[in-house]
Amino acid sequence: MSIAPRKPPLQFALRLKRALGGKAGWNGLAAQIAFAAILAWIAYEIVANARTNLETQHIASGFGFLNYNAGFDVNQSLIAYNNSDTYWRVFFVGLLNTILVSVIGIVLATVIGFIVALCRLSPNLLLSRIGGIYVEIVRNLPVLFQILFWYLAVLAALPAPRQSISIFNTFFLNNRGLVVPQPVTEPGLYPFVAALAVGIILALGLRHYARRALFQRGQMIRIWPYVLGCLVGLPLVSMLVFGEPLKFELPQLKGFNFAGGARIIPEFVALTVALSTYTGAFIAEIVRAGVMSVHRGQMEAGSSLGLSRAATLRLIVVPQAMRVIVPPLTSQYLNLTKNSSLAVAIGYPDLVSVFAGTAVSQTGQAIEIIAMTMGVYLLLSLTTSALMSVYGWRINRSMAA
């Protein structure tokens, strides 16, 4: 009796079939190709149809306009811009303004959200009531209304430039914004930055060494004096040797406004404050839900190990809660970014206001500009969710370990 040698299965072909067609096999692959072809055909029809319609109506089309002069001014720009720059430049000015308000808004909203959530969870009755009232008021009012409230009711009530509220004669607060001393770079800047960078790297290295010593040998090493030396001492030495890195130019009242100094415009403040307090209320609820999802026993286990309440929260509860918090938190970040397009109501020059607004009506090329703007928001949103996915993945990995 002999045993016929079994043929090995055609692993590669099978795997290919599985990957391309799923469970349905080659039929599934055919269906997918047909579906993709139909999608491509629809997309082609849309583009071709728009093109012919634009041509028959003699509406200018194409992206050539991006190289023309824009001819209008923008009141806040992170890159050098004046009215003889191109529409490309306008696009980037608007984009950077959108990103600026989104990033700062996201950071503030997260901080507000966590603080309010911890207030609500606190055993202190007063704190938890205040947190609850904040959440209920802020998240139940429309965000556009809140933006207008901050802009028209709060910031507009500030005095005119000539009656500015002066803080030590260096900061001036008025209805044109907050005027702050402007940093002017000095030759000592580069050595200063280099010294700071070296200090940070050294401090991180020390921390790594100390952690390894703690985890592997159970040895506690006191490193904070050295870290302080690296972070403060090195830059100080560089300042003594190469001179100060920055000089501050003080603002002076001249004519209608302040000359010299930098200015944070009230539109930016109103938009950032409104968006971050609004989104912060939602984040507070998400964080609260996340913390509540961690079993009570974890808290009790922490206490029984002799950890303080704060340490238990920081080391045991919050890391577990983050798994629940991160996915809805991502949605809130995306909402904040998209809500920043309400800027047009208060004259903050974001992408929608300067590019999808002014540029559209000056060039009349709505299709191209709106498509670009949509693409940008899509890209911003996808980037945000990709970053958050990586973060979520890292948390899950560390949980599993």
Partner 1 sequence: MCRAIAAVVLDDPTKVKFVPLSAKDRFTALQSGEIDVLSRNTTWTVSRDTSLGANFTGVTYYDGQGFMVKKSLKVNSALELNSASVCVQTGTTTEQNLADFFKGNNMKYEVIAFGSIDEAVKAYESGRCDVFTDDASGLYASRLKLANPADHIVLPEIISKEPLGPMVRHGDDQWFDIVKWTLFAMINAEELGITQKNVDTMLKSDKPEMKRVLGTDGNLGEQLGLTKDWVVRIVKAVGNYGETFERNVGTGSPLGIARGVNNLWNKGGIQYAPPIR
| CA gap 347, 337 in Å, rounded | 17
Site for partner 1 in 265-284 (CB under 8 A): 265-267
50 binds partner 1 (CB under 8 A): no
Q: Least distance from C-beta 279 to partner 1, angstroms? A: 22
Q: Least distance from C-beta 147 to partner 1, angstroms? A: 11
Q: Least distance from C-beta 158 to partner 1, angstroms? A: 9
Q: Which is nearer to partner 1, 133 or 152 (CB)?
A: 152
Select the span of 111-119, 225-233, 305-313, 350-358 touching partner 1 (CB under 8 A): 350-358
Residue 142 main-chain phi, psi, to 5 deg: -60, 145
| Residues in Cβ contact with 310 at an 8 Å cutoff, skipping those fewer than 6 apart | none
- Asked whether 93 and 391 are in contact (CB, 8 A), the reply is no
| Residues in Cβ contact with 187 at an 8 Å cutoff, skipping those fewer than 6 apart | 242, 243
Select the span of 184-192, 253-261, 278-286, 379-387 touching partner 1 (CB under 8 A): 253-261
257 binds partner 1 (CB under 8 A): yes
Site for partner 1 in 71-130 (CB under 8 A): 71-75, 83
Q: Which of 59, 107, 197, 228 binds partner 1 (CB under 8 A)?
A: 59
Nearest Cα to 352, choosing from 61, 85, 142, 91?
91
Q: Which is nearer to partner 1, 177 or 280 (CB)?
A: 177
Site for partner 1 in 175-204 (CB under 8 A): 175-176
57 binds partner 1 (CB under 8 A): yes
The pairing of beta strand 252-254 with beta strand 246-249: unpaired
Buried b or exposed e, range 363-397, using 16+ CB within 10 angstroms: bebeebbeebbeebbeebbeebbeebeeebeebee
Residue 182 main-chain phi, psi, to 5 deg: -95, 130
Q: Which is nearer to partner 1, 283 or 354 (CB)?
A: 354
Q: Which of 269, 318, 360, 395 binds partner 1 (CB under 8 A)?
A: 360
| CA gap 150, 170 in Å, rounded | 25
Nearest Cα to 95, choosing from 400, 393, 387, 383?
383
Q: Which of 26, 145, 209, 256 binds partner 1 (CB under 8 A)?
A: 256
Q: Which is nearer to partner 1, 231 or 265 (CB)?
A: 265
| CA gap 276, 201 in Å, rounded | 32
Q: Least distance from C-beta 175 to partner 1, angstroms? A: 5
142 binds partner 1 (CB under 8 A): no
> H or E stretch including 275?
helix 266-293
Binding site for partner 1 (CB under 8 A): 54, 56-60, 71-75, 83, 152, 156, 160, 175-176, 254-257, 259, 265-267, 344-347, 349, 353-354, 357-358, 360-366
